[in-house]
Structure 1
């Protein structure tokens, strides 16, 4: 439903913009500014379907031209006949554009310029040919040069507008990055204050552990019975103190993260760009031969970007850890697809894999298959349990995994659209 509303909105704007134009050949033929607005919408609405939108825009342009002609001159029959070819122009423009854009990069504005010139010229030429009903070569000779010049000028205007918007957007992003950096510095200073309480608690914990062990020894050896009560009371007092200070830390960090990290949201494509850059840098740091790729579907806006970052970072790091040091051509791929109700994500790797018994426990807190045999250090095994908690409890989704020992592991996540998608403010 949202797509149809967007198409109707774009078509109405294009129809209004089409009233500004340059007359050519006859008073009935107008090369309008509507196509400029049409292309601007196609460029910035990535999910907008060019051909249906082009046909609908042509119909809206036609209807508005007929209405304006009738209000101005009172003769509706001439207008109905004269402006029918407007539909052809937008239809063929969108068809030619769609065919060409598949073979290039839509985000490359220089490539887009040549695509627009060809689409504009082709659509205008077809319209002229239908209007004049003369043979192709005569039409090309008569109006080809004029139409090519108009196509280049109109596409050049659009090229300048797109570049201006691109640099303006970069300027805004730079300002936003600077603002976030300042806020990050402020938050870091606040988190350092909370670190004081954590460090203080560590001393308390050490003291409690020491006193608890002393009490255990006395009870075990049945000595100094008269000191047991005081020692137990001292332990209880210290635990109570730890609990209070731990509560201060939790409240402080919650206040920071919930209030001051209250970002409005991000586009999914920006989340992926940040993840890609960060994770590829991490792959380089650990010096492993891993190719990380992202195949993303329809873009969307979400305020749950911290959740998604945490999910993907944990799963990608998990896949990196599962990749043997000496493995060549390691692969981690993140796939995003959208169906009617859900966003579906697959994170797959060709690492060491997990056996069937381990697969049954991978989301359990504390479970880990990652042990450093040279140091005896074991991973805490909290990453996947955190991912499961976020997906299922915070986002109302579900997560599962499949794996074969020695071949790799795949994680499958499904999250309802209503839990992720939001309207851009």
Structure 2
């Protein structure tokens, strides 16, 4: 339904803009502003199929132009055929845009390349329309029309380029302003977290003392010593544990205050989440000097107010994959794939690392379980990442997670999240 509304709105805008035109040498052949509107619409709405858009626009402008002619000059059967070649212009433009621009992210990132390709699409589509008029409608051919059409294509594509460049820099200004706000907020939140970390660090000494006193009491009871002090020692340990619990409740309250509605961002688009994730993971790869290559395949964009949870899921899965490097294979290849299904989103994280044995795979989501052990340093991974991922997916998103793996063949995690649990209107 959302796509249908977009197509309908875009078609109306392009159709209306087609009424701004100039007539040239051939009868019934117009140079309009519609292609400027169509190029902008297709660039800004990459989830819309250009071929479908080209077809809807072609018939909409044809019908609109015919109605305007009938209302102005009265009924004329010849006009029905005279305006038909214009249909092919928009259809050809849609096909060329789909073929050369739609699925190529390079042309969306580099506006100069986009300018060149839209010029080509515009010029070629006009050549097709002119050819139909000359071959089937016996219109006279003028040599200077080729130069004129190329000039028109350059002018219209330049208009698209200028508008997109202005939008790009406008977005950069808005983004800079948002980043400044988030940076100030981050400084404030960091200050709060540091104060909470002070209490946590202070409690570590208390916990060590409680553990020492508890073990001493255990030894006394085991050896039958100082029996007169058993009761008082037990009460002292219980009292100390209660004090630690109270202080940790204060810490928890402080952390919860940081994450409540007062500090929440409204939300983010999925493409921005992925952009931030890629940047941070590349920094992690560089910092740890890892031989890792990450590739991303993203489906249609959406807006969500659960961006922190999504980022946490992807980060933990990617960090888990980093630790699965099989040095005998050289570079670790990781793919993050997003697909929009009928009623849910599918996110897959696939790596070609060491893989997981059949014996271990049923325990990987258990808190504390880990197969990552450094036998030289004795360091053991905390084993909380995958447990956290499963908990967030199932309890926060009402989704589910699947895993496929075998030793030496890599691992694939598939996460399914219902649309209504992740998508919100901006």
Same fold? TM cut 0.5: yes
User: Hey, what's the Cα distance between the residues in 1 that align with 2:397 and 2:171?
Assistant: 31
- Is 2:290 the partner of 1:291? no
- Is 2:132 the partner of 1:130? yes
Q: What's 1:35 paired with?
A: 35
Q: What's 2:333 paired with?
A: 331
From 210, 221, 224, the equivalent of 1:222 is: 224
Q: What's 1:345 paired with?
A: 347
- Distance verdict in 2 for CA 1:74–1:255, change over 3 Å: farther
User: Hey, what's the Cα distance between the residues in 2 that align with 1:28 and 1:330?
Assistant: 60
Q: Report if aligned partners of 2:15, 2:34 keep a CA contact under 8 Å in 1.
A: yes
User: Hey, what's the Cα distance between the residues in 2 that align with 1:81 and 1:282?
Assistant: 63
Q: What's 1:55 paired with?
A: 55
Q: What's 1:106 paired with?
A: 107
Q: Report if aligned partners of 1:129, 1:135 keep a CA contact under 8 Å in 2.
A: no
- Distance verdict in 2 for CA 1:390–1:74, change over 3 Å: same
Q: What's 2:214 paired with?
A: 212
Number of residue pairs matched by the alignment: 424
User: Hey, what's the Cα distance between the residues in 2 that align with 1:350 and 1:96?
Assistant: 37
Q: Report if aligned partners of 1:289, 1:327 keep a CA contact under 8 Å in 2.
A: no
Instruction: Report 1:7-46 matches (<5 A).
Output: 7-25=7-25, 28-46=28-46
Deviation at 1:389, TM superposition (A): 0.5
> 3-state DSSP class of the match of 1:332?
strand
Deviation at 1:72, TM superposition (A): 4.0
Q: What's 1:272 paired with?
A: 274
Q: Return 5+ residue gaps in structure 1 as ranges.
A: none
Q: Report if aligned partners of 1:66, 1:76 keep a CA contact under 8 Å in 2.
A: no
- Distance verdict in 2 for CA 1:330–1:82, change over 3 Å: same
- Is 2:309 the partner of 1:307? yes
Deviations 1:62-87 (A, max 9, x none): 23333434444454757645544432
Deviation at 1:12, TM superposition (A): 0.7
Deviation at 1:343, TM superposition (A): 1.8
Deviation at 1:135, TM superposition (A): 8.6
- Distance verdict in 2 for CA 1:306–1:236, change over 3 Å: same
Q: Report if aligned partners of 2:393, 2:417 keep a CA contact under 8 Å in 1.
A: yes
User: Hey, what's the Cα distance between the residues in 2 that align with 1:157 and 1:165?
Assistant: 12
Q: What's 1:238 paired with?
A: 240
- Distance verdict in 2 for CA 1:377–1:97, change over 3 Å: closer
> 3-state DSSP class of the match of 1:343?
strand
Larger mean Cα displacement after TM superposition, 70-79 or 286-295: 70-79
Deviations 1:278-333 (A, max 9, x none): 11221222222222222222222222211111111111111111214565222222
Q: Report if aligned partners of 2:50, 2:102 keep a CA contact under 8 Å in 1.
A: no
Deviation at 1:418, TM superposition (A): 2.1
Q: Return 5+ residue gaps in structure 2 as ranges.
A: none
Q: What's 2:190 paired with?
A: 188
User: Hey, what's the Cα distance between the residues in 2 that align with 1:238 and 1:336?
Assistant: 50
Larger mean Cα displacement after TM superposition, 275-284 or 19-28: 19-28
Deviations 1:252-300 (A, max 9, x none): 1111112344112222222222222211221222222222222222222
From 405, 408, 412, the equivalent of 1:406 is: 408
Q: What's 2:253 paired with?
A: 251
Q: Report if aligned partners of 1:371, 1:379 keep a CA contact under 8 Å in 2.
A: yes
- Distance verdict in 2 for CA 1:91–1:238, change over 3 Å: same
Q: What's 1:87 paired with?
A: 87
Deviations 1:208-253 (A, max 9, x none): 2222223222222223333222222222222222222111111111
From 382, 385, 404, the equivalent of 2:384 is: 382
Q: Report if aligned partners of 2:133, 2:139 keep a CA contact under 8 Å in 1.
A: no
User: Hey, what's the Cα distance between the residues in 1 that align with 2:338 and 2:138?
Assistant: 47
> 3-state DSSP class of the match of 2:190?
helix
Q: What's 1:148 paired with?
A: 150
Deviations 1:330-382 (A, max 9, x none): 22222222221222222122222221111111111111111121232322211
User: Hey, what's the Cα distance between the residues in 1 that align with 2:136 and 2:145?
Assistant: 12
> 3-state DSSP class of the match of 1:36?
helix
Q: Report if aligned partners of 1:266, 1:305 keep a CA contact under 8 Å in 2.
A: yes
Q: Report if aligned partners of 2:49, 2:98 keep a CA contact under 8 Å in 1.
A: no
Q: TM-score, normalised by structure 1?
A: 0.92
User: Hey, what's the Cα distance between the residues in 2 that align with 1:136 and 1:158?
Assistant: 33
Q: Report if aligned partners of 2:21, 2:30 keep a CA contact under 8 Å in 1.
A: yes
Deviation at 1:14, TM superposition (A): 0.9
- Distance verdict in 2 for CA 1:209–1:112, change over 3 Å: same
